[in-house]
Amino acid sequence: MNHAHVGSSLAALAVLLVIAPALSGVVVRTKSAFAGRRGAPVGQLYWDLFKLMRKGTVYSTTTTWIFRAAPVVVLVSLTAASLLLPLDGQASPVQFSGDLIAFAGLLALGRFALVLAGLDTGSSFEGMGASREVTVASFAEPVLFLGFLGLVLATRRLTLSAMLGPALTAAWAHQTASLALVALAFFVLLLAENSRVPVDDPATHLELTMIHEVIVLDHSGPDLAVILYASSLKLALFAALIVEVAVPRDGLGLGWSLAAFAGGLLVVAMAVGVVESVMARLRLNRVPQLIVGAGALALFGIILLLR
Amino acid sequence: MLALAIGVWGLGALGALLARGRASASVVGALSAVAGGAAASAAGVQALVSGAPVLWHWPWAVPAGALMLRLDPMAGAFLLPVGVIGALGAVYGAGYLRGHGSAASTRVAFAAYNVLCAGMALVVTANHMLLLIVAWEGMTLSSWVLVVHDHAAAEARAAGVQYLVAGHLATAAILLLALVMAAANGSFAIAPLAGPAAVPAGLLFVLALVGFGTKAGIVPAHVWLPDAHASAPSHVSALMSGVMITMGFYGLARFLPLLGVPAAWWGYVLVALGAAGLTGGILFSLAQRDVKRALAYSTVENAGLATLGIGLGVLGAAWHDPILSGLGWTAALLHLWNHALAKSVLFLGFGAAAQRAGSRDLDALGGLLARWRWVGSATTVGAGAIAALPGLNVFVSEWLLLRALFGAVLRGSGAGEVVMIAALIAVVMGGAIALAAFARLVGVALLGAPRTPAAASAPEPGWTMRAPLIVLAAACAAVAAAPVPVTGVLAGAVALASPLADTRIATALVQPLGLVLPALVLLGALTAGARAAVRRAGARRYSATWGCGYGAPSAAMQYGSTSFGSGITAVFQPVLQARIEREAVPGGGPAGALWPVSARWASVTDDPALRRGYRPLFARIGRVAARVRGGERARVTTSVLYLVAALVLLLGMLFVPGIGA
């Protein structure tokens, strides 16, 4: 990999890190449009983060170093995971054979920290959220791997940079159905992993029904800012994954490629907003079925690829 | 070095037995275990690094026996954990047993511990099948003594009986394997099959799988493991779960290559059993309330991962695929090392919590990390390691296993490809549920508010118990930071397990993983630094956990061991078959009366393999045996009659052509 690639991939990473909070705003704006309201500005989350950074922090006396370390670990694991994706459509800043497994492992690291921080408070509500988070993740992680397996079989490569980079363009010509199924599975995965409707409703105000929001009830001030930013980064990361699968950008110049990337992220965010507007959330015990269904989609894609 | 280690352990066993008081028995027993462990570790490292086998040969008075030892890289790979965990466990044990049982039981425990270490060292270095079987028995019996250490408890006694039965059925299979191989080879020396054996090689594979797989905790021969490992004192649980199961894998790694080029179905069987073990093991771990049983079921999971790796190694050999064979065997051996480190941390840490809080019930612990700085933090690291989080050691071997599976999917075709995809899904599911299972153990036992007064006041153990935990947790991080030398040193053992394996590919592949921990630490330091700068500006306050408007939250309202995993266990209820036990507590009032009475409610998840499979089977064997014996009126004369009949039968066999000659 040459230095130009490092430069362009870091530029794409910068786009992702900066645009991430705006994606949550786009989702909210889309929902407002469906509801016939004006809605909060797209940049609302930036202001929220700015406000929280200037506030003080309240710690529960029950908590330990785990509660304090968790926001940092969550943010670091997601940043490290985003270093493995070829966000410029060509190559990622860090790549090695089998890095797709490390990508999933880093997501798991962030989840472990968040769940432990929830349990650290001793709150029944946060324990509830932690329990639901690991339940959803137990079914979601195999779907991520099935999707990756589909990409591996379509491109015959074992690095994310190759699977999602130039080799994918050629694969789309022959393996259209399989790749479309994988992209669809990844979209359901995005909804599940980021606690969106129909898995969870981020706009709910009842703790009993929450998943993600309820784990972080006790975080406040800058800690909460870090967690909110990390959540928006996670949404952006999965959106980026879908964009990379659905829109191969081989042969575009850096400028067009970045523009296509940012545009793709916006489209995915709007699609999330549409889903949230037209669907109700599922009963919690139906959620595993939804995610297993996404896995079945990816598995169909894989079966089509078997020779 | 090896002879020194075995000698020191032997003397230590004697010394601990003969020592006058509890304190001197602890000192003698622990010191000899540490010295023996250090010598064994040195011998193991030397064998791994030098690569050349060292042979010893002494005469032995046993008919057809000979004291033949061989220290080669394979033996070294399995000897090293015996030494390391054996030594650290003994240090911990000196502190742990101080508050546990009588002085006499402490003497016996340390003697048995030293015999167990010596037995395991002999198992991996014996170059003669009779010596191997004697050492194997020594290992089984000395560990049985430790399993029934708390023999006042009925469940420990039951676990002991179950363990003895399972252990001896396994030994019987190993004995058969040894006899058939010796008949073909003309000697009991451990050597490749020289000529055609009396039975097909596939049957020998099955004998090895049953005999060694039982000790290894391979499904479905794992049923003794959760009870036995949970009943022993915690440092022995660590040694049994972390190291003794590897003796079974040693048997497979040593004997499978002796049987010639493997058939593909051996590999398929191993992959299937491994997949069943790793998914089933972690599901049952998630459903346990007893923290040590949960850890023991996680051992079944990790045994499944190692079995799957060996299955890939065997399939690679059968398919003449050096890369798959090398990656599979390396992943399996490395995983056994990583599991030994991480599982020991967990048994020592949670074992200390259970001892100090006076209960192995997860819901009787809680809130320990706030006061147990060292033990709690080290245990959390161990849990993160075994949940295969990047930056810690188990991630390296699980990554290698998944990488091998992805590669095999790409290179395979037809049935092989489908099996690899199924195995991949199983490994990923097991890993995802493992994260839930270990978040549960840490979250319920160490975090939150204390769930009982005993947990609230339990003091942190002293340095004899802390130090081994800290060393082991640091080792978990060190292996992750330096995967290349650790993987590279296994090359000699992999070459012995599978002659055609590519032994360098794994070392080359894991190289980037060494950067994961430094990268995470660097990014973490930067983020934490920025966070600290912001924190200095803002005010900081401390308050009670927010109760969502409810004014009187109590520790009992926290998510508990059963509720935390309920989302997953509910889906897998057909597999788990958890049962609800409910009863009204005596004296609580008439049941069915108008007002609620006090009652007991418990969700029990015992092993369906035991409840549906083995128990009815053994009960039927017992009934048949009772009928043969003549019911209650068994007499000496009847027994003598059976004896004579057996002798006549054996004599008659001498005249059967083909056997008697």
Average pLDDT for consecutive 10-residue bins of chain B (661 residues)?
86 85 89 95 95 89 86 96 97 89 88 96 95 95 94 90 93 94 89 84 95 94 93 95 97 95 95 96 95 97 98 95 96 98 97 94 94 96 97 97 95 85 96 97 95 93 95 97 96 95 94 94 94 79 81 81 92 89 65 64 83 88 81 71 89 69 40
Mutate: best of A58, A76, A215, A305, partner B, most B CBs <10 A: A76
SS3 label, residue B66? strand
Q: Do A59 and B542 touch (CB under 8 A)?
A: yes
**d(Cα B566, Cα B570) in Å, to the nearest integer?**
6
Distance of CA B31 to the CA centre of its chain: 25
**d(Cα B228, Cα B295) in Å, to the nearest integer?**
12
**d(Cα B310, Cα B267) in Å, to the nearest integer?**
8
Nearest chain B residue (CA) to A94: B512
Radius of gyration of chain A (CA): 19
pLDDT digits (tens, 9 = 90+) for A248-307: 887 788 888 899 999 999 999 999 999 999 998 888 889 999 999 999 999 999 999 986
Residues of chain A contacting B387 with CB distance shorter than 8 Å: 108, 112
Low-confidence ranges of chain A (pLDDT < 50): 1
**d(Cα B638, Cα B544) in Å, to the nearest integer?**
75
Name the minimum distance, in Å, from the CA of B55 to any CA of chain A: 40
Interface check A54 vs B, CB under 8 A: yes
The structural domain count of chain A equals 1
Q: Do B527 and A60 touch (CB under 8 A)?
A: no
In contact, B96 and B352? CB cutoff 8 Å? yes
Q: Do B523 and A120 touch (CB under 8 A)?
A: no
Q: Do A120 and B443 touch (CB under 8 A)?
A: yes
Find the helix packing angle between B103-125 and B245-255, rounded to 10°: 10
Between B432, B439, B567, which is nearest A132 by CB? B567
What range defines the domain where residue A227 resides?
3-305
Interface check A127 vs B, CB under 8 A: yes
**d(Cα A201, Cα A197) in Å, to the nearest integer?**
5
Q: Do B509 and A97 touch (CB under 8 A)?
A: yes
- Give burial (CB, 10 Å; 0-12/13-18/19+) of B320: exposed
- The DSSP output letter for A127 is H
In contact, B445 and B366? CB cutoff 8 Å? yes
pLDDT digits (tens, 9 = 90+) for B42-100: 999 999 999 889 999 988 888 878 899 999 999 999 999 999 999 999 999 999 998 77
- ipTM, interface predicted TM-score of the complex: 0.96
Continuous H helices in B498-545: 505-510, 516-537
Backbone angles phi, psi at B70, to 5 degrees: -140, 125
Nearest chain B residue (CA) to A131: B564
Query: According to the model, what pLDDT value does residue B661 have?
Result: 40
Name the minimum distance, in Å, from the CA of A82 to any CA of chain B: 13
Name the minimum distance, in Å, from the CA of B389 to any CA of chain A: 5
Interface check A216 vs B, CB under 8 A: no
Residues of chain B contacting A71 with CB distance shorter than 8 Å: 531
Residues of chain B contacting A82 with CB distance shorter than 8 Å: none
Chain A with chain B: Cβ pairs closer than 8 A: 234
Residues of chain A contacting B403 with CB distance shorter than 8 Å: 97-98, 101, 158
Place of tokens 């080290």: B378
Query: According to the model, what pLDDT value does residue B59 have?
Result: 87
* Beta partners for residue B189, in sequence order: B128
Mutate: best of B330, B546, B572, partner A, most A CBs <10 A: B546
Mutate: best of B526, B531, B542, partner A, most A CBs <10 A: B531
Pairing type for strands B540-543 and A57-60 reads parallel
